[in-house]
Structure 1
């Protein structure tokens, strides 16, 4: 609806100049409706026929009948065409969102705002329109048109992405396109995704091959989340492509932006105050959690990869959400990011002469990590002393875009932080030209790594090549940190009282041939990462030994004082070294059982179309869920990643009949009968 307001109409002759004051228009929406689904409210309305408008959304526990009620109940805003998937429309053809309210896309004249519920209550909503041509807001309230005449019952839930499209591609890959809505409110189950209001974020899942419960590969690429490009990472797996795109056409480097940054404006002031909110990382984390818990994958096999600044997204995710990742591999990726004076990113993050706080806290101190420290992998590898996934990558000495990483002593920091992994370098430029290593030689065997499997992190290996001091002309032309070292996964014994693993020297290949330098023995420090059961207590005495060809080569003992366990100067042979640790006088089995003051109870809650299995955990855990029909046949089997706090696992879309649901974690087991009779 458009209202004509004649502010001034007249002619004024002054100094020979004719002046005319143009009329201003104000607008309102109509047909406002609301629906609730999975912890979110979907508001839909009819837009006025105009552009350059902003739609403000207000909420109240009382019916909104007067403009006076708006001042203290503002939620956020959306802009023109909020019902349109603008990102997909720009990449492909015009496309409008599908919401849970209907399987059909919204019409071209409909607007959309999605609220993530913050509490259990009944709410009323109103939508007003701001004309951005003159920044005037029409606060007219028309009950039943732009203000709900009836309330909507809300409850805190677990927001679910909404399927927008699925299709089988020409190569047989099945693509599923989803939109995940978030807004500017932090809730206990879903953090804020932006600082403005409702926004829909795209991601695609590509199922490759016919087998289920395979690994999940996450390909960081911010140019088009709908494209199959780059998803040929595996044969039988699922590939996830997310997006990092802002309405103003920019990207966040997979980080986020200052709380005062306007995502709709192409010109922002340089940020000199405020907190840098990691909105993009919050969204990546929730997307990973949802896929791991709801898709037919092995949730312990999650791998991240990317090139250049997209690789930085994988690198950052691995330190911000390490418990969700088994391994990463990045190419030509900067290991730190900081703006230079005059760079547009000073508007997004902060003035390069400052170092504003982020919303990520140091797990050791509880203090906010400053933004340039957060975006420095050397600092983050030092901060997170326990949970970094296996990390690997390759960089070039002649890369002037990402820079030669040893200029920042990256390889030295890998040894100092004892995070291990394998990192290669050669003479490549940023695009890969001039490479001496082949892709096959630097790409890890991803699927040997699991979130729930320990691995050794090597440091200060005596046969590492020399990356130099930071000058591209200094040191060896090519080489690797830990490139000669390996271990036997099948040899790992990770028990409550003892731990053992077999490590060995392997041949290093360069350009398809064995390198001229090969070795039969070396020394290396070894830090044991991600032990699942071997968790000594402070004060425990630990004995250790190294055996080669049946002969004990080294041994010793120490008193455990907390943190990751490191053995120094371990002798490793091409003929293998069996490394063992044992806690003296140990008879532990289930160490954590005694920490449970109350039994964990799983509640089965009916929801539309099925049930939710809800439980409150005192710690992070993994669980296996099986759904069996009454003949005992397993119809659904999932491995779930559960977080400390409230968790909800939906069980929906089963055929007509009764089923048995079985959920088992490390400290709980429960079954329930589910009625799907229609």
Structure 2
């Protein structure tokens, strides 16, 4: 027992980030101020008290009334994900005219509050969410018995996204209202199946769906104390008809649920229509549910329940004659894949994450389903949601319950990602003081084959971000996710922004069959859905975000599966990707000993002959060696990659063949190999650390392709026992970008060997790539000159451009003292 104190019995300091407070089976009595108080600091809006539980407690004033009006039972400011259930509140009232705070009050930006099955007796007022200028976002008030003696039973004041249902309210005074929702900030509220002796009313512009409630002036509660003899007669009220509902038992817990989808909200934003509805099944109402608990029951519920979405250009009174727009599984409001695929066991203790449907809004309340669609034409539409239980659809349509009463205005568009939350960890991927922005976008074609499929995205901003900032698309490996599994945060020290996402399915950051998520097609094509959505999100960042981006310096980086995808993207989209860093990737999928079968799941087996969307056989299109051979004219950025010679899963031969293709097609690259297996790291130019690209590489700047360097080691013929056990190609060479000359008649660049090079000079073939203005015609004769670092001529000659107009000067001497190569058109 806690009581007889001058202030609060329990003080929870939200301003000090006091989280996970559990108060169970306690008695609070005779305090001067609020019995349980949660405080906050308005100067620190990102700090609050999270995940609290108050259960099975008694709050009372033993003499029948409080000591003053500044008191109450539970008073929480700025609390998120709290649950208050199975408690009793007695005699929280004053003898004077002023009101106490009542039994339960959450406000000042509190979010996702659950108030369940409490009994409130002889109190001034019952449950309050929000106040005049201090809103409440999201919550459930369900199954409470409330007896108030001065004011309303449930007061929603600037409270949004709240469900109020199955409560019993007895107003034991002349006050006319049992439930109030007040001010324009009170919206998206569902008030249903409550019983009361007074009215349910809107005040000052509050908005709610009110349905299925029973208002009976003679309604009362069985109380533990006698009623006053002079109780005034309650005002007359008309009881609306109760909504007829069909009940069914839910799996093994025998909890009755409503088959009809109770409560629908539809809104449109920039090309996407969001349909929110309350699901019939709601086994995860606690904010403390883990992914382990969720996955233990998910399949059983999803087998039993699904939801059909309907659209019409006229009000929906019946689904007869309508075809479902979609049928979705249960728990669509839960972010099932935030931690990535293949991680359910490893991350079982993580708390369940629910989606946010609008920027600035709280997560969807438990039991809320969501479907997002991209309409194909501009206009007005109506939507409805029905529930399917064990294959049987409940086709009842009730306006305001499972269909919208008014149409939603729609336009055609891609839609924009929805910001879910912002995190500021002390350390993220070895980088201090970064800010992490987490987004979800419900994608559709051409970004995925399944309309309305949610994908998560992370935008990480370093403490000192460049202006404009390059963006690195970071691709995780097997078992990773958008927060880890791609090795380093590349170039964070140079102000680069990190963009990451999750894979679903595991397509190695390429694409997948168009029927992957749907019924099998006879000859499906493989489309690059994954890269489409990554580039689409990048385009959103450029056009709509708060950051100034340098799109010409976009790069990719990845590990293993991500290392495979980072190179596949770089060589197929060289106009978008300036350079790439890849650890232990697959470059020729048909030769990967262990992972060929993984590619087969998304592309079909090679023998099936499925085609990529451009008509090429998909296994040929995504063969990096074959792709380079078919497109020697493509100007690709620098590829820094590595493979383990003893990496039996990825395979060594395919890495050697890829290196050979890079040399033969004269593309910029640095390759390192060794005996580190699947942990082999790539080297960066200029002896830089692995997480830093020291050279300024842009799609708008030319760069050299070095081939046949005299300092290269020998990788061998593809047999791990052949060639040098560890080595490099082009590791010691670099170039400078500050003084590039790229003119119509002349090109110049300074190059050198690093200090760690095993010799003071080398011989190497040099092919300028990504030339901006200097262009040679096929078979054109081009002059060249080699100069020292101080401009002294060292050598000169002529070279003939090849069939694609590429100019290669062979056997050029490059030193640690640096040299400058000059190309010029013959007069």
TM-score between the two structures when normalised by the length of structure 1:
0.69
Change (3 A) 1:177 1:139: farther
Change (3 A) 1:397 1:530: same
CA distance in 2, matches of 1:119, 1:497: 51
Change (3 A) 1:424 1:564: farther
SS at match of 2:677: coil
Q: 1:307 aligns with which of 556, 559, 562?
A: 559
Q: Does 1:547 align with 2:786?
A: yes
Change (3 A) 1:87 1:341: closer
**1:347-406 deviation per Cα after TM superposition (whole angstroms, max 9, x unaligned):** 4331343231123x3xxxxxx232212332212333453242211112121111211145
Q: Does 1:331 align with 2:589?
A: no
SS at match of 1:475: coil
The structure, 1 or 2, with the larger RCO (C-alpha pairs under 8 Å, 6+ apart) is 1
Q: 2:527 aligns with which of 267, 271, 277?
A: 277
Q: Could you say which residue in structure 1 is the equivalent of 2:482?
A: 225
Q: Specify which structure has the higher proportion of strand.
A: 1
User: In the TM superposition, what is the alpha-carbon distance from 1:137 to its structure 2 partner?
Assistant: 4.0
Q: Does 1:388 align with 2:636?
A: yes
User: In the TM superposition, what is the alpha-carbon distance from 1:493 to its structure 2 partner?
Assistant: 0.8
Q: Could you say which residue in structure 1 is the equivalent of 2:679?
A: 431
Change (3 A) 1:102 1:289: closer
SS at match of 1:204: strand
Contact kept? 1:303, 1:446, Cα under 8 Å: no
Q: Does 1:155 align with 2:387?
A: no
Q: Does 1:379 align with 2:626?
A: yes
Change (3 A) 1:321 1:32: farther
User: In the TM superposition, what is the alpha-carbon distance from 1:486 to its structure 2 partner?
Assistant: 2.4
Q: Could you say which residue in structure 1 is the equivalent of 2:362?
A: 104
Contact kept? 2:258, 2:280, Cα under 8 Å: no
CA distance in 2, matches of 1:559, 1:380: 22
Larger-gyration structure (1/2): 2
Q: 1:451 aligns with which of 695, 699, 705?
A: 699
CA distance in 1, matches of 2:597, 2:462: 41
SS at match of 1:311: helix
Q: Could you say which residue in structure 2 is the equivalent of 1:78?
A: 328
User: In the TM superposition, what is the alpha-carbon distance from 1:481 to its structure 2 partner?
Assistant: 2.3
Contact kept? 1:421, 1:458, Cα under 8 Å: yes
Change (3 A) 1:532 1:230: same
SS at match of 1:44: strand
User: In the TM superposition, what is the alpha-carbon distance from 1:142 to its structure 2 partner?
Assistant: 3.8
CA distance in 1, matches of 2:655, 2:458: 37
CA distance in 2, matches of 1:497, 1:528: 14
Q: Does 1:501 align with 2:749?
A: yes
User: In the TM superposition, what is the alpha-carbon distance from 1:414 to its structure 2 partner?
Assistant: 1.0
Q: Could you say which residue in structure 2 is the equivalent of 1:634?
A: none
1:12-27 → structure 2 map (5 Å cutoff)? 27=259
**1:552-575 deviation per Cα after TM superposition (whole angstroms, max 9, x unaligned):** 6233265786x4522242523315
1:161-200 → structure 2 map (5 Å cutoff)? 161-171=417-427, 172-184=432-444, 186=445, 191-193=446-448, 195-200=449-454
Change (3 A) 1:501 1:433: closer
Structure 1: 5+ residue runs without aligned partners? 7-24, 362-367, 586-678
CA distance in 1, matches of 2:484, 2:780: 55
SS at match of 1:414: helix
Q: Could you say which residue in structure 2 is the equivalent of 1:674?
A: none
CA distance in 2, matches of 1:58, 1:489: 57
Change (3 A) 1:505 1:290: same
User: In the TM superposition, what is the alpha-carbon distance from 1:235 to its structure 2 partner?
Assistant: 2.5
Choose 549-558 or 148-157, whichever is displaced more: 549-558
SS at match of 1:67: coil
**1:61-115 deviation per Cα after TM superposition (whole angstroms, max 9, x unaligned):** 34444434423xx543432111222234865312222222761221112111112
Q: Does 1:403 align with 2:648?
A: no
User: In the TM superposition, what is the alpha-carbon distance from 1:292 to its structure 2 partner?
Assistant: 4.2
Q: Does 1:581 align with 2:823?
A: yes
Q: Could you say which residue in structure 2 is the equivalent of 1:356?
A: 610
Contact kept? 2:746, 2:822, Cα under 8 Å: yes
Q: Could you say which residue in structure 2 is the equivalent of 1:287?
A: 537
Q: Could you say which residue in structure 1 is the equivalent of 2:136?
A: none
Q: Does 1:256 align with 2:511?
A: yes
How many residues end up aligned between the 2 structures? Answer: 532
Q: 1:370 aligns with which of 617, 625, 629?
A: 617
CA distance in 2, matches of 1:472, 1:197: 46
User: In the TM superposition, what is the alpha-carbon distance from 1:470 to its structure 2 partner?
Assistant: 1.0
CA distance in 2, matches of 1:383, 1:328: 21
Choose 368-377 or 380-389, whichever is displaced more: 380-389
Choose 309-318 or 120-129, whichever is displaced more: 120-129
Q: Could you say which residue in structure 2 is the equivalent of 1:145?
A: 401
CA distance in 1, matches of 2:655, 2:573: 27
Change (3 A) 1:480 1:527: same
Change (3 A) 1:453 1:480: same
TM-score between the two structures when normalised by the length of structure 2:
0.58
SS at match of 2:264: strand
Contact kept? 2:578, 2:637, Cα under 8 Å: yes
CA distance in 2, matches of 1:102, 1:523: 57
Q: Does 1:527 align with 2:776?
A: no
**1:228-280 deviation per Cα after TM superposition (whole angstroms, max 9, x unaligned):** 9955543352442523343xxx63322332222238xxxx98x9731123222
User: In the TM superposition, what is the alpha-carbon distance from 1:221 to its structure 2 partner?
Assistant: 1.9
Q: Could you say which residue in structure 1 is the equivalent of 2:734?
A: 486
Contact kept? 1:455, 1:529, Cα under 8 Å: yes
RMSD: 3.7
CA distance in 2, matches of 1:183, 1:149: 27
SS at match of 1:287: helix
CA distance in 2, matches of 1:47, 1:439: 57
Structure 2: 5+ residue runs without aligned partners? 1-243, 250-256, 283-300
SS at match of 1:322: coil
Q: Could you say which residue in structure 2 is the equivalent of 1:652?
A: none
User: In the TM superposition, what is the alpha-carbon distance from 1:3 to its structure 2 partner?
Assistant: 4.5
1:602-621 → structure 2 map (5 Å cutoff)? none
Change (3 A) 1:564 1:147: farther
Change (3 A) 1:106 1:357: same
Contact kept? 1:177, 1:204, Cα under 8 Å: yes
Q: Does 1:39 align with 2:255?
A: no
Contact kept? 1:522, 1:573, Cα under 8 Å: yes
Q: Could you say which residue in structure 2 is the equivalent of 1:58?
A: 310
Q: Could you say which residue in structure 2 is the equivalent of 1:625?
A: none
User: In the TM superposition, what is the alpha-carbon distance from 1:308 to its structure 2 partner?
Assistant: 1.2
Q: 1:115 aligns with which of 356, 360, 373?
A: 373
